[in-house]
């Protein structure tokens, strides 16, 4: 992202002190590629959206037809990923078939749909393990709420796909934060279950204790994954 | 009394830890781009 030439951008860059700091002059890669961006950032924004519509502590799964759509979204992302893998294999072994040439916009869109699915499915799992409140409502209970979630993903799609430099820092910071938070939330479910403290948090302050432990575990896990990648690929930049 | 004081201190450990983590990340002596990239390096 960045290095864009929107109307007036050159003028602002030349005359507004500090503008170059918030809008990279050279194209700069986000911390994650399009599909992973969609999964992690899509997840965190779905979680924020669920909180914004007042279902932040709801423990019920999305209603059946919506849950089915979410499962289909994961499958669609998986299918696009398998096709991209087959396409890569095809470059070296033409006998390997593939359906279509991978496209960045499909990669981003299917990643975001998967992020929406992760948010919709994981949030009630985390809430059931964490909160004392017995809010049994589904996290996504109406089609209006479901379409609202899709709308949030559409905005994220446009922000990323536009490659406008002004969005670089907000999206880069959210991407790295979402990576730690998503892994920490999965860890937190295990931390609470193993320590036998399910349903013990009444306030956000109570929730911070298991979350802090989960963040430590997430940092260790991310560190191990980084070491594994470094051992295999070094600092090679992936396409 | 001592027990209540301990509980009061314990309530601050997690938020203080998380804030310290963010503060260390922000002031660490590398470029912010590199630091953000490094978090996701293994993904």
Mutant choice from A27, A226, A236, A238 vs B, greatest count of B C-beta within 10 A: A226
B18:A212 CB<8 A: yes
Q: How far is A175 from chain B (nearest CA, A)?
A: 8
A208:B43 CB<8 A: no
pLDDT tier for residue A5 given thresholds of 50, 70 and 90: low
Q: Decide: residue A3, CB within 10 A, 0-12 exposed, 13-18 middle, 19+ buried.
A: middle
Q: How far is B40 from chain A (nearest CA, A)?
A: 6
CA–CA gap between residue A182 and residue A117 (Å, rounded): 13
Q: Which of A141, A169, A170 is nearest to A54 (CA)?
A: A141
pLDDT one-digit tens code per residue, A21-77: 788 878 889 999 999 999 999 999 999 999 999 999 999 999 999 999 999 999 999
Token digits of residue A60: 């019920």
**Quick one: how far is CA A5 from the chain centroid?**
28
Tell me the C-alpha to C-alpha distance, in Å, between residue A230 and each of A71, A74, A160, A203, A223.
33, 29, 27, 40, 10
3-class DSSP state of A229: helix
User: Residues near A130 by Cβ (< 8 Å), separated by ≥ 6?
Assistant: A188, A192, A198, A199, A201, A207, A210
3-class DSSP state of B38: helix
Answer whether A139's CB lies under 8 Å from A123's CB. yes
pTM of the shown model: 0.91
Nearest residue of A to residue B20, measured between CA atoms: A212
pLDDT one-digit tens code per residue, A197-217: 999 999 999 999 999 999 999
pLDDT one-digit tens code per residue, A74-133: 999 999 999 999 999 999 899 999 999 999 999 999 999 999 999 999 999 999 999 999
3-class DSSP state of A176: helix
- Rounded to two decimals, the ipTM of the complex is 0.88
């Amino acid at each position: 992202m960045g290095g864009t030439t929107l109307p007036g951008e050159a003028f602002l860059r030349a005359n507004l002190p500090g503008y170059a700091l918030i809008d990279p002059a050279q194209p700069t890669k986000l911390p994650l590629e399009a599909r992973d961006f969609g999964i992690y950032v899509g997840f965190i924004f779905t979680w924020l959206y669920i909180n914004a519509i007042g279902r932040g502590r709801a423990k019920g799964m999305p209603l059946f037809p919506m849950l089915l759509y979410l499962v289909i979204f994961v499958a669609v992302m998986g299918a696009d990923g398998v096709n991209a893998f087959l396409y890569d294999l095809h470059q070296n072994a033409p006998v390997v078939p593939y359906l279509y040439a991978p496209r960045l916009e499909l990669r981003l869109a299917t990643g975001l749909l998967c992020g929406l699915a992760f948010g919709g499915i994981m949030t009630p799992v985390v809430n059931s393990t964490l909160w004392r409140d017995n809010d049994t409502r589904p996290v996504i209970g109406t089609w209006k709420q479901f379409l609202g979630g899709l709308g949030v993903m559409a905005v994220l799609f446009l922000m990323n796909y536009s490659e406008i430099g002004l969005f670089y820092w907000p999206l880069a910071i959210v991407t790295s934060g979402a990576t730690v938070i998503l892994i920490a939330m999965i860890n937190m479910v295990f931390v609470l279950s193993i320590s036998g403290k399910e349903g013990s948090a009444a306030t956000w302050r109570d929730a911070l204790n298991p979350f802090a432990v989960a963040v430590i575990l997430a940092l260790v896990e991310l560190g191990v994954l980084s070491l594994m990648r470094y051992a295999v690929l070094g600092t090679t930049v992936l396409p | 009394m001592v027990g209540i004081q301990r509980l009061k201190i314990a309530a601050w450990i997690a938020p203080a830890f998380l804030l310290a983590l963010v503060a260390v990340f922000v002031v660490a002596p590398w470029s912010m781009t590199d630091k953000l990239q490094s978090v996701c390096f293994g993904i």
